[in-house]
Structure 1
Amino acid sequence: DLETMNLNLSGAYRLNNAWSFGLGFNAVYARAKIERFAGDLGQLVAGQIMQSPAGQTPQGQALAATANGIDSNTKIAHLNGNQWGFGWNAGILYELDKNNRYALTYRSEVKIDFKGNYSSDLNRAFNNYGLPIPTATGGATQSGYLTLNLPEMWEVSGYNRVDPQWAIHYSLAYTSWSQFQQLKATSTSGDTLFQKHEGFKDAYRIALGTTYYYDDNWTFRTGIAFDDSPVPAQNRSISIPDQDRFWLSAGTTYAFNKDASVDVGVSYMHGQSVKINEGPYQFESEGKAWLFGTNFNYAF
């Protein structure tokens, strides 16, 4: 679970009638929480212990019995923390004339180094067997560290008023999600507390829309977009069951006068159905959502 708040200070300089430049500084406040529960982990761990040399010893057999009795709701890893990260953004706008303009924007990577509290309800004895599970603390809390890189993003966009009443607009965004390869929490001494492979890839988003200027008061807009998922099929997990998404949007603006107007919009998001394989289990996931928005504008 990741919640962020972004504060952005920006400025722009208009060089002439054609070229404009913008530069900004952004501060991101992030609050993160990672929780994992046992599910069927106890049975899997018990099987691994019994198949290892330790399973031939009384101590190993006793621990396997303990693992087999782990409740599915046992919290095997909990890490939370909050921190600030900083980045920058820039943009260039070229206006061929009043009816045609093009833009290039860039948003930098934001690196956030979390320091928080880590705990696990698992018995510390599990740490002695080299099992692929989070570090057990027996319910005790210790310091945990995790670095999260929010990816950089490039976007190119354009607007062309092809008719006094019609305009088309389009954009292509590229996000460097390949920076996100794993979630890894470490202790003060550098030991791994929790690790999960993510293996994201760079992703893109393409959008196409049109605007109809009905009269001086009413403006109507509609558009479509495709979001490429950064999660390769082989790396999908039940915790991040991401999929490619298709968007349909529509909206209108009503101008009361040259200074005041109101916007209303709606979007429908459809995520394709995907299958997720984790161990002996297979899941299916798809996402659908409606989004509504309204905005009042007033120019001073």
Structure 2
Amino acid sequence: MICRVFKTALALAIGAASSYSLAAGFAINEQSVSGMGTAFAGRSSSADDATTVFGNPAGMSRLKREQVSVGAAAIFAKTDIDDARGTFGGSNDGDMVPTVAVPMGYYVKPIDDKWTFGLGMYVPFGLITDYESGYAGRYYGDRSEVRVITLQPTLSYRINDQLSVGFGPTLNRIDGELTSAVLNPATPGRNDGKVKVKGDDTALGFNAGVLFELDARTRFGLTYHSKVDYKLEGDTTLSGSGFGPLAGTYDASLDLETPESVDFSVTHDLNDRWTLYAGSTWTRWSRLEEIRVENKGRLPATLSDIVEEQDWRDTWSYAVGAAYKLNPQWTLRAGLAYDQSPARNEFRSPRIPTDDRKIFSLGAAWSPNDDLTIDVAYSYLKEKDADINQVSASKGAYRATFQNSAHGLGAQMTYRF
């Protein structure tokens, strides 16, 4: 029983975090509020402000003035759990995701006609799920929290009037915490034990991009975000009478790769008022084949190397959007996106209760003068119903249908010097 408990507990929040961002897997899309208004359809080709440090480093070559962009997005998730059945009973309240704020900040400074420097800080992965006490699926997942914060210094170089390139190394800090309930065989469903896992690491990656300006009205962007290899070091705490002499705190480590992605988009200025966007993103979620955990301490040999299968698949997302310049001060935006889920039906659990999703976005930009722009955006996400059917000898059965939706609100200020 202890081995199975560890397998579940040490799946360090990577599935839990996937649930309710506006991107698939456990990625977060909200690195730009100006891009959020078009459902990120032109993320790698728009290059309208300093947030292009993330969207496409090569896009900094289009920015002729030193500028700062700062902002944040808030995500309000809602979940209804229907047709829930658990062997040992319990509640199914849903709405297990607290309101989460996602900050972002960027700085861009042209050096000369060719070179531009940029610096970005943003959150590419992470979120929180926190079920109520006594949740019926608590043996498959209780509370999870994970976040990655990235710092990216960047350079772009304009090769000629049409072609620019950009590159930036990324310094990534990940930390997470996870808890799970443990079934007490002596009193099933009562006097449960608890497993709590904490870990963190810092690792390097990079972002690179190419921007091709076909003419004054049309440009294409291609951005590559590298994978990042982490080795999370932390500890595992076992509490509750069911663990007997094994109760205590142990050193633990987990190797985790966040996946690489390729983003391609096109931006076309139809005329002086209308701009059209289209884009797609491929993410290599198939890197997450399994979770392999190493534990140290006075534990049985069966706990020294633990494997939990995930078998995620690569995904595609697609988006289209448009912007309308109402007057010199106001620009209105809208966008639609479709995002695939990497989780396969047979492995879906309360830690990953998601399926494919559709996103509708609206946005607006107000520029009272040439120096200042304030962007706001709203997104609505609706998922396909996600069915969970989990059975385990040590945790009983849990079956339910999750109906997930989310609202996102964002605000951003860009100031040009």
1:178 is paired with a residue whose SS is helix
CA distance, structure 2, for counterparts of residue 230 and residue 159 of structure 1 = 28
Check conservation: 2:296, 2:304, Cα contact below 8 A: no
Check conservation: 2:193, 2:242, Cα contact below 8 A: no
Matched, 1:283 2:395: no
Bigger radius of gyration, 1 or 2? 1
Q: Match of 1:251, as an amino acid?
A: G
CA distance, structure 2, for counterparts of residue 192 and residue 206 of structure 1 = 42
How far residue 298 of structure 1 moved from its aligned partner, in angstroms, is 1.3
Q: Match of 1:252, as an amino acid?
A: A
Check conservation: 1:238, 1:283, Cα contact below 8 A: no
How far residue 20 of structure 1 moved from its aligned partner, in angstroms, is 0.5
Q: Which residue of 2 aligns with 1:49?
A: none
Q: Which residue of 1 aligns with 2:28?
A: none
How far residue 99 of structure 1 moved from its aligned partner, in angstroms, is 0.7
CA distance, structure 2, for counterparts of residue 75 and residue 184 of structure 1 = 23
Please list every run of at least 4 consecutive aligned residues from structure 1 whose deviation after the TM superposition is greater than 3 angstroms.
70-73, 121-125, 188-195
Provide the aligned C-alpha RMSD in A: 2.1
1:68 is paired with a residue whose SS is coil
Q: 1:182 to 1:77 in 2, by over 3 A?
A: farther
How high is the TM-score relative to the length of structure 1? 0.82
CA distance, structure 1, for counterparts of residue 345 and residue 276 of structure 2 = 34
Check conservation: 2:229, 2:255, Cα contact below 8 A: yes
Q: Which residue of 1 aligns with 2:316?
A: 204
CA distance, structure 2, for counterparts of residue 87 and residue 277 of structure 1 = 37
Check conservation: 2:192, 2:242, Cα contact below 8 A: no
Q: Which residue of 2 aligns with 1:215?
A: 327
How far residue 182 of structure 1 moved from its aligned partner, in angstroms, is 2.2
Check conservation: 1:143, 1:187, Cα contact below 8 A: yes
Check conservation: 2:282, 2:315, Cα contact below 8 A: yes
Q: Which residue of 1 aligns with 2:153?
A: 9
Matches within 5 A, 1:55-204: 67-69=185-187, 72=190, 74-121=192-239, 138-188=246-296, 191-192=303-304, 194-204=306-316
Gaps of 5+ in 2: 1-144, 392-396
Check conservation: 1:122, 1:138, Cα contact below 8 A: no
Within the candidate set 191, 202, 224, 2:336 is matched to 224
Q: 1:195 to 1:219 in 2, by over 3 A?
A: same
How far residue 2 of structure 1 moved from its aligned partner, in angstroms, is 1.1
How far residue 184 of structure 1 moved from its aligned partner, in angstroms, is 2.7
Q: Match of 1:159, as an amino acid?
A: T
How far residue 89 of structure 1 moved from its aligned partner, in angstroms, is 1.0
Check conservation: 1:181, 1:198, Cα contact below 8 A: yes
1:16 is paired with a residue whose SS is coil
How far residue 230 of structure 1 moved from its aligned partner, in angstroms, is 0.6
Check conservation: 2:193, 2:241, Cα contact below 8 A: no
Q: Match of 2:371, as an amino acid?
A: D
- Identical amino acids, percent of aligned pairs: 26
1:234 is paired with a residue whose SS is helix
CA distance, structure 2, for counterparts of residue 294 and residue 282 of structure 1 = 39
Q: How many residue pairs are counted as aligned between the two chains? A: 264
Q: Which residue of 1 aligns with 2:366?
A: 254
How far residue 273 of structure 1 moved from its aligned partner, in angstroms, is 1.1
Deviation digits for residues 266-299 of structure 1 (CA, Å, limit 9, x no counterpart):
1111112111101133111122111111112211
Q: Which residue of 2 aligns with 1:128?
A: none
CA distance, structure 1, for counterparts of residue 370 and residue 386 of structure 2 = 48
Gaps of 5+ in 1: 43-66, 126-135
How far residue 160 of structure 1 moved from its aligned partner, in angstroms, is 0.7
CA distance, structure 2, for counterparts of residue 10 and residue 137 of structure 1 = 52
Q: Which residue of 2 aligns with 1:292?
A: 409
CA distance, structure 2, for counterparts of residue 281 and residue 162 of structure 1 = 53
Check conservation: 1:36, 1:77, Cα contact below 8 A: yes
How far residue 92 of structure 1 moved from its aligned partner, in angstroms, is 0.2
How high is the TM-score relative to the length of structure 2? 0.60
